[in-house]
Each structure stands twice: as structure tokens, then as C-alpha cells.
Structure 1
């Protein structure tokens, strides 16, 4: 039997009664020779991109990967199967007929059908979606802010250019859609990255550091750029009565301009729903409302939570490298001992030592019984009636327990450990109070007037600043926010035309729009109306 005959006999022909005719072009995905079919279809897709319409079996054969290239007969059989399923169309090849007998020899040229081309496009989109790696695009945040400033400038004109307005809105939607899709894909794949237990330790540690730096950089950009974008969205307003409303109307009318005369009203309504939904989605991504946090704030929280999860994985890997107890490593070592044991008797002793699991006959066995069994072994296949009896303690008969009951273990004194924990908590509270006292401003100051902050103070300041920026509401010039534990409050006020503020830290300089800020240490704040000596 030739390779072509073997391939032909192993390829099942789809049953039209069981498979919907519309989906038969996907039938080649469930056969034994799926890989060959995918390679053949890939040759046709590449040929179409090069504007080649028809291919002969010899052309397809040469287009396959040389290292994995099957015989020409196998390719011919695969082409016939694909034509039967509707992926390809087979036409008689009369261009090379030179003799009468050539008319009776089946020769075909093949080309993609509409169904086959649609199936390849669907499979390509599927592969792309599965292999896509999401990214947190800090550059996209700057592009979105740039497009919003351009729209704000167009909104200030009496008659904005329709083409420029429409293109600006399309560019904004395209950039925002890419940011949202990539962020969703990144956060979905981040947990799989955290669960990389089988990766090499050195490789994972190196990748971990780059990923943490990447997350920290994006969080900082999201705090600063997100506040700027939120402010621009507030200035543009809602799509119903804000400054963006006329621009959206221009985009709606321009998209519906090419509709047929009898469906103009439906096209206008569909375009209006589409643009209103896009703008509402953009506002929901960057602006929080009572009872619902913005997607940017949720993304920032998820990115922050990923950092300690990565550090926990690193700690577990370091413990494994340091020789700490690991159950999987212990079982692998035990399996090696079983494999290296010289005989079954040694394996049985190793089993008893490792697990202590015995048959019911040996539940109450003692050292004397074990010594007796060593001198006169009893095979495991021995029946109960043939095996010697086991001496059972009268205590077991009387109480159901083999061991005598005695005094209970005394309660362990944990006063020393509690004192240590209390001292540790007191020291941590003092350190936190010192950081709060360092950040307290005792009145409104400019951001650029803050002193040089150490790492702990700067980390707390970033948390406060992020909560304040995410709490902006439309039409407000100032905002206040309180930490979750209620110990700190920040009040932030805009300074139009204030320029750029620089906050110096031990790790570098943070730039941002100038604001008036007041940070209050609520844990030390004196009650209103307190008497002073």
C-alpha cells in the first residue's frame, strides 16, 4: 500500500447527514491528518496574498515546509478531500494536455472557495486571539489625552470641520479600544504568569523583576495621565448636553451620509447609539461615579495586587531553592527510593516507614508481633483463616481505644510570644505614625513645596494622591479623600496656570500639574473647639 493509499484510507469522509453543510469547511480540523490540511490551506492563503489564483498539486507540494513535506500523492489526496469539504474548488487542468490519453487522466487545478477563505480568516482570528499577549500601554494614555485636547479645541470653534472632527473621534476610539482590549488581555494572563510553578527559577526571577518594574511604571503613568484624561472628559461633558455633543452629532451625520435613501433614519439612529455608547464607555473607564469605581481605578488596584502575588511566588521559589520542605520534592525523592530498593521486602519496609498504612489485621500490631512476623513471615496473599491470630489488648475490647487515657497535655504558655507580637505591632505603629506626621502639611501648600520624601513617605503619598485624583467629579475644583483606615485625609485643589510641580524623592523626581494640597493626620488631629492653655 502506498503512502497515498494509506492516507486515503485513514481520512474519514464527512457525512452530510450529520454535519451542517455551512460548516463543512471546518471538518478538516477534526481528522487524523489535520496538520497536513492546515499546511495545505496555508499555501493557498499565501498564494492569494501574492495574487495567485490557481495552484496545481505540484505547486502546493513545493510550497510546504521541506522538513515536513509529504509525498506528492499524499498532497493530491489531501487536495481532493479539501475540495469535497468545500474549502477548495477543483477545475480540470487542460493546459498541459498533449495526448489523447491525458484527457482520461484526472488532472486538476485548485483555488480557494469563498467558504474556504472565510474559514481561514476565522481560524486566523482565533489563533491571533489565543496567542495575543496583552500589554499595559502607557503610551496610549498620552495619545488619548492628546486626542481629547484636540477635540476640546474643535469644540471651541463655531463650525468645526466635519472631516477633521470625524477623524479625530475615530482615532480616539481606536486608541481607547486598543488600550481597553490590551489591558483586559494583560490582566487575564497575569494570573497565569503568577502561577508559573514549572518555570526555571533563574528565568522566572529575571522575568519577575522586569514585570514588577513594568507594573510600577504603568501605575505611576495611570495615576498622572488618568487624572489629566478625567479632567479633559469633564471639560467635554456628557454626550447629551456637554461640549462634545455637537462633535458627536457631526460624526453621526457623516457616517450616515452614505446610507441608502430608504434607510437614512435607521442609519442615523444606529450611528447615534454607537457613538453615545462609545463616549459613555470612555467616561466610565476614567471617571468614577457614586457607587461605581472607574475601570482605570480597578485596573490600578488589580496591578497593585499583582505585585505582592509575584513576590509571594518568588518567596516560595527561594524557599524551595534553600532546601525548605516541599511535598512534591519529597514524593519524588521517595519514588526514587522505591525504584532503587533492592527487593520487595525492602519496598514493604519503606512503605511502612513512610506511610504507616497496614491491612486491617495489623491495626493493633506491636513490636513483639513484628518480631514474630520477621522470624515467621506471613505472605500478604494468606487468607484470614490460614494466618496466625493477632493478640488484641483487653483495653481495646473494653473501651474501643488501644492506648490508655491519661492526663491531657497542659496548656502552653504563650505570654512571651504575645508580648513579642505586641512590641512588634507597637514599633510598626510608631513608624506609621512618624510617616503620617512627616506628610502632614498643617495647612494648604503647593505640591512643589513638599520636602524631600523618603521611600515610605513617598509610597503613602502616592496612595493618597491616587485616591484624590480618582475622586474628581465633574464641575469641581477641589476634592478630598480619606484612607481606608481613616487615619489620613488629603484635600486637593486645582491651580489653573500653576505650571508643573516637582516632588523630589530618594528615588527620583515626580512631575505633575501644580495643585494646592493639604494632608491631615486624623489620628493626631485635635477635636474642634478644644481648649488650649
Structure 2
């Protein structure tokens, strides 16, 4: 009964959590993790946590035994009773008198308790479970999270424009939004960090690695494309929410957090408001670049792009090893196994001399006069360097560290056919790029809906330009300052993009389908200053010509 009383005193009204720091006594709930029977304690705590998830508040010792048996753990009732008593002493469990009717005399005289998780015990077990989940959670680039964030921001925009937003809906949307963004950030960081460690270049099968490489590059390119499109839309939604009154939504969410507290001080209210303001500022900085910094979405996109060349470099290293047939780490590992298999030290010494040949002085390359002198007067390998005559090393070897052997030089491999193939491929790529530029260059400013049909090469170049322009747009800016001007990665094309503000939709037809989105005024200019030698791509504006142009 003293144990029960002591446990109940922990929940005295004066000790209700009011946001103060956790005391040292409360940290004893983690003692079961380092105890002698840590695994058994973990099993018991998991049994209580699973019971609570099924809305079962109390468990008897027999029920704990049954739960452990169902999980494949053989333990008797006395052993469970000892574990439960120790967990009660640490503060993980709470023991209440079991007032149920007894069936035998032994049960009447035996102290019987009902056990349930304490607040500290549940928090400790959930913290350990969360720790284990973080270690095994896979890294990934969540395209679905970007779509969820857009939907949640659209809901918040509707609530911000309402006269009396529902505080519950506002709090739920903001909480889900921050949780989804944290999950996106954590999974992306885990994926990018472990990308270089995913492939073991010494042990993976070549065909499996090439298949993995293709899937990974496609995976990265798809995420980068989705991130570019989603970043522009999310930035626009954030600007619209700020204009409609994001501060009011944050205040409603903060008050919702404080609604169930017994006593609320001004310090509590200020801390909760500051926490929600920081979350919103971090969300905005993730997608919209601050004045003197870069957006986190831009940083993630850059790191994902850098992963593709690193993967291709790994492929190049594999191909180089296949061609040269040399692998220094593999050779050293094989030699280490040979040393381990030597039956005696003498055999190990012979293997050392055969592998490295560093014992005698004859491993040096010397000039012809020295070789002739040594032929006339041989010097045994066992003679000390101090007693042996000096070696006349070639001045070229002493000066440069290289020695050119005498005789016929090695044959030069004719690479003219390979060079011609590379030249033809470069010429073909240049022609494709010039043709794509000729299709994209516009005569002045046109609408996106007037671009017409684009072939795959021109459409790919146009998507790159459009993505850079949309990501560089500044949401919330009105007037002529909304125009965006960016150049392509190679500096050959410039796009000038301005919203039309008329809610019209643009459709761009390609070989693989149609791209549909908000219409914009667009002007694409060739910055190379060269005549491409191809007629300008026709637009819808070319259907109406003045007589002078027809005559020309």
C-alpha cells in the first residue's frame, strides 16, 4: 500500500506540468534501458504500450504473462511480478489495488494490483520507440509530400479569406503542414547523406549497378522537376496567405494550443505565439529565398543535381577497372589472405620478397655503366649498404624521378575513328540545340498559349527555361516588377516571363502529350548573336500579316 500511496503522490495538484524543466527524479524512468534484464523490461513496457493503443488502461500480471507468451517469450508469473515491481519503483508503472472478487483463499491473502503506464513511463517508451524508428526509416525524396503541402496551403488560404475561421481546422491544417514538411526534410537529408554509401563499388554486380543507376537518375530527375514546379506554386500560396492574414491564423493556432491548460500566463501565451511564428517563418524560408540567403528547396535541388554526376563518376570508375583489369584494394586484400594462409614465418618472408622485392639493392634502376661494373665485380645482396660500393644513379632519375628505358618506344594507338565519332556526335548535338533554339525564339512577346507544337528537344529546353523562370519569380509583387528575366544554363537563351492576370489557361502540345497551366506573356531571345539559318517558329500572331510583309 505504501508503494501505491507514493505513486499517487507524484500526481499531486501542485506537481501538474506547467512547462517547467523535467527533474532528475523523473529521468529514472529510463533506468530499465540499461538494467541487467533490459530486454525483458522492454518487452513488458511494449506490452503496456500496445494495450493502451487498444484503449486498455490496466493490466494484471496474468494478462502480462499471456501477452509475452503471445510474442514468443516464455516467462512465469513470479518473474513478471518481479519485473512489474521494479518498473513501479522506477516510476514507469503505477500499481493500484485490485478490488475484483477473489476465487481462492490464496488470492485473498496475496497482495493483488492492477498496473498501468505512468505519464513518465509512457513518454520514455515512446521516446525509445521513436529513436528506433528514426534509425531504420528509409531516406527518400517525397514527391507526395510536396502535393500534400500544396493542398494544406490551399486549405489555409481559404480559411484566411474567411470572416470567422474555425480555430480547430486552422490548428489541424497548420500542425499537419509542419509535420509533413519536417518529414520531407528529414527523409531528404537521410537520402542525400546516404546516397554515396548506397553502392559498394568493389562488391556490386555490374549489371545490377547499371540498373540501379538508371532507376536512381530517373528518380532524382523526377523529384527535381516536381520540386521546381511545386516551389513556384507553394511560394505563390504563401504570399497569398500572408496577404490574407497569416498572423491571424497563427494566433488562432496558438490559442488552440492553450485552450485546455488549467492556468495560462502571459509568458506561456508569448512562448506559444513565438513558436508558431518561427514555424511559419521557417516554412516560408524553405520555399521562398530570403533577401540575403537561399531557399532550402534550392539547396536540396542543387544537392540532388550534384548526386547525378557523382553517380556517373562511379560508373566511370567501374568501367575503368574493367578496361585496365587492375584494382589495387582488391589486390591488397588478396595478398593479405595469402599472408594469413602462410604456414610459417619463413614462408611469409618469401612471400614478402616476391610481392614487393624491397630486400636487395638490385631493385633500383641504374645506368649502363653501373650495370657493367657490377657484372665485373658482383656484390652479394646480403652486404650492408654501408659496406657496398655506391650506386651511380642516372641523373635523369635523380632529377625527375622517372627513368626512360632503352629500346623501341611503345606503339601509338590510332584513335582517329573514335575522334571522328565524337566529332559527329558533337556536331549532331550542336545541330539539335540550334534547331531547338530556332523553334523557341519568339518575335517579340507572345502568350504561352501561342507557342504551338514543340518537338521533344525543344520542349525539354523550354521546360528548363520555364522552371528557372518560375522558381525565380517573386510572389506577392505587383505591377511591372512581376516580370522575370532569366537565362538558360549555357547562356544561349533568355526568357522574359510576365503573368497575364486574366485566369486564362495555356496548352502546349508536344509529341508525348500536352502541358496545361496558367497563361503568361513570354519572350524568348537568342543571346548567341548568330544566325541559326532556320526560319523563325511561327506563332498564332503570324496568321495576320500586313501587305508589305506579304509582298516581301
**Mind listing any 5+ residue stretches in structure 1 that lack a counterpart?**
1-18, 374-386, 397-401, 527-533
The answer as to whether partners of 1:499 and 1:514 remain within 8 angstroms in 2 is: yes
| 1:265-414 pair list within 5 angstroms | 269-270=270-271, 272-316=273-317, 324-338=325-339, 344-358=345-359, 362=360, 392-396=387-391, 403-406=393-396
Write the distance in 2 (CA, Å) between the matches of 1:520 and 1:276: 43
Q: TM-score, normalised by structure 2?
A: 0.69
CA–CA distance in structure 2, aligned partners of residues 176 and 256 of structure 1: 15
Separation in 1 of the partners of 2:526 and 2:509? 21
- Look up the match of 1:26: 30
CA distance in structure 1 between the aligned counterparts of 2:62 and 2:263, rounded to whole angstroms: 50
Q: Deviations over 1:60-91 (max 9, x none)?
A: 26524665535666555544543443333567
| Aligned partner of residue 229 in structure 1, secondary structure | helix
1:493 and 1:516 in contact (8 A); partners too: yes
1:424-443 superposed Cα distances (whole Å, 9 cap, x missing partner): 99859945862545533342
Q: Following superposition of structure 1 onto structure 2, how do residues 435-450 of structure 1 map, counting pairs within 5 Å? A: 435-450=436-451
The Cα of 1:468 is off from its aligned counterpart by 1.0
Deviation of the 1:519 alpha carbon: 1.9
The answer to whether the 8 A contact 1:455-1:505 is kept is yes
Residues 299 and 100 (structure 1), Cα distance of their counterparts in 2 relative to 1, 3 Å cut: closer
Judge conservation of contact 2:140–2:191 (CA < 8 Å) in 1: no
Conserved 8 A contact 1:137-1:179: no
Q: Equivalent of 1:182, from 181, 184, 195?
A: 184
Question: How has the CA–CA distance of structure 1 residues 110 and 275 changed in structure 2, closer, same or farther, with 3 Å as cutoff?
Answer: closer
Deviations 1:462-499 (A, max 9, x none): 33222211221222432111346544321012123463
Distance in 2 (CA, whole Å) between partners of 1:44 and 1:355 is 64
**In 2, are the aligned partners of 1:256 and 1:267 still within 8 Å (CA)?**
no
Is the 2:47–2:67 Cα contact (8 Å) retained in structure 1? no
Deviations 1:369-419 (A, max 9, x none): 99967xxxxxxxxxxxxx8756854335xxxxx63434866999x9x99xx
Separation in structure 2 between the aligned mates of residue 206 and residue 285 of structure 1, nearest angstrom: 33
User: Could you say if the C-alpha distance between residues 173 and 65 of structure 1 is closer, same or farther in structure 2, counting changes exceeding 3 Å?
Assistant: closer
Q: Who is 1:49 aligned against?
A: 53
Deviation of the 1:292 alpha carbon: 2.4
Are 1:441 and 1:519, in contact at CA under 8 Å, matched by a contact in 2? yes
Corresponding residue of 2:164? 161
Q: Is the 8 A contact 2:508 2:515 kept in 1?
A: yes
User: How many Å separate the matches in 2 of 1:347 and 1:66?
Assistant: 53
Instruction: Specify which of 227, 232, 241 is matched with residue 227 of structure 1.
Output: 232
2:151 is aligned with 1:131:
no
Distance 1:44 1:149, change over 3 A: closer
Number of residues paired by the alignment?
A: 478
For 1:191, the equivalent position in structure 2 comes to: 193
Of 119, 123, 134, 2:124 maps to 119
SS in 1 for 2:199: coil
- Contact 1:87-1:116 at 8 Å conserved across structures: yes
The 3 A distance-change label for structure 1 pair 151 and 88 is closer
TM-score, normalised to structure 1, is 0.71
**Structure 2: runs of 5 or more not aligned:** 1-22, 365-373, 532-552
Distance 1:76 1:205, change over 3 A: farther
Aligned to 2:500: 495
* CA separation of 1:469 and 1:36: change in aligned 2, threshold 3 A: same
C-alpha deviations, 1:14-50, integer Å up to 9, x for none? xxxxx95332221222245322221122122223334
Tell me how far 1:281 sits from its aligned partner.
3.1
Asked if the contact 1:134/1:183 (under 8 Å) is kept, the reply is: no
Within 1, Cα distance between the matches of 2:208 and 2:53?
39
Distance 1:276 1:260 in 2: 20
In structure 1, the residue matched to 2:7 is none
Q: Which moved more, 1:268-277 or 1:470-479?
A: 268-277
Out of 200, 214, 219, the position equivalent to 2:219 is 214
Cα separation, partners in 2 of 1:174 and 1:448, compared to 1, 3 Å: same
SS of 1:481's equivalent in the other structure is strand
Mapped partners of 1:489, 1:144: distance in 2: 31
Change (3 A) 1:31 1:141: same
Report the Cα offset of residue 207 of structure 1: 4.8
User: Does the 8 Å CA contact 1:491/1:517 hold for their aligned counterparts?
Assistant: yes
Tell me the equivalent position of 2:515.
Answer: 510
Secondary structure at the aligned position of 1:291 is classed as coil
